[in-house]
Amino acid sequence: MTIHHHATDETLMRYAAGDLDAGPARVVAVHLAGCPACSARLAQFEAVGGAVLEQMEPVPMAPDAFAAALGIIEAEEAGRAAPRKPAAARSSSGRAPSLLPGGIPIPAPLADCEFGPWRWIGIGVRASAVRLPEDPEARLTLLRVGPGRKLPEHGHVGTEFTQVLVGSFSDGYGRYLPGDLSEMGHEIEHQPIVDPEGECICLAALEGGMRLTGFFGRLIQPFIKL
């Protein structure tokens, strides 16, 4: 698999720092699982982060600073454990399905998620809600769009992260194939069109949990009359 569209450096730095929302972090995790280039880049950022911490050591510290720092690190590790290693967390439970709705293999970073049924949200467009154990309010969505289908042109309040799992789509910025990650900033308006060869299944999340409902509403509004 040749990957042409990667995570931005800003996104990888924020992922390394645990600064991405739960939904986008999962989309990036799925991309990282299939992208050695971004995984290597992430390792560089994590190393830089470690070096910065080391440079901070000579600062005079209170007697209990080391213990306090360990406590902070352990707390952060605990908080990051779920999104960073979800497959390991539940791999032996046997509860995770091996296939997504539609029969496609489940990406390893989503192994501990629950998947809702495919729901029709417009002509040729279906969606499955993905529930994250670490943040049940997070909105992560599988979109399944028919060949040649056009999604409405839309802008975003936050950055939209879309990882292609099956098929391909194109917009004014490029063609996205399985393994590719599309990051569309809030200043960008684009109109994704699924390529005619077949349906496209992708994993999508929008940064800013409170705004996602609005985004999703705008996404489906042109298709259905409520």
- Interface residues with Zn ion (CB under 5 A) are 6, 35, 38
Cα–Cα–Cα angle for 156, 158, 160, rounded to 5 degrees: 70
Q: How far apart are CA 71 and CA 49, in angstroms?
A: 18
Residue 63: what residue type?
A: P
* Nearest distance in Å: CB 181, Zn ion: 6
Q: Give the side-chain half-sphere CA count within 13 A for 11.
A: 27
Q: Would you say 15 or 215 has its CB closer to Zn ion?
A: 15
The SS3 call for residue 160 is strand
In angstroms, what is the minimal distance from the CB of 216 to Zn ion?
26
Residues of 23-54 as b/e, b for ≥16 C-beta within 10 angstroms? bbbbbbbbbbbbbeebeebbeebeeeeeeeee
The per-residue b/e assignment along 101-111, b for 16 or more CB within 10 angstroms, e otherwise, is eeeeebbbbbb
CB of 162 to Zn ion, least distance (A): 13
Minimum distance of Zn ion from residue 38's CB (angstroms): 3
- Of the pair 1, 52, the CB lying nearest Zn ion is at 1
| Smallest distance, Zn ion to C-beta of residue 62, A | 42
Our CB check for Zn ion shows the closer of 22 and 38 to be: 38
Nearest distance, CB of residue 39 and Zn ion, angstroms: 8
Cβ atoms of residues 125 and 143 within 8 Å: yes
Dihedral sign computed on CA atoms, order 157, 202, 92, 97: positive
Residue 199: both structure tokens together? 């349906």
Shortest Cβ distance from residue 157 to Zn ion (Å)? 25
The end-to-end CA distance of the chain, in Å, is 41
- Give whichever of 121 and 164 is closer to Zn ion, judged by the CB atom: 164
Q: Which is nearer to Zn ion, 39 or 191 (CB)?
A: 39
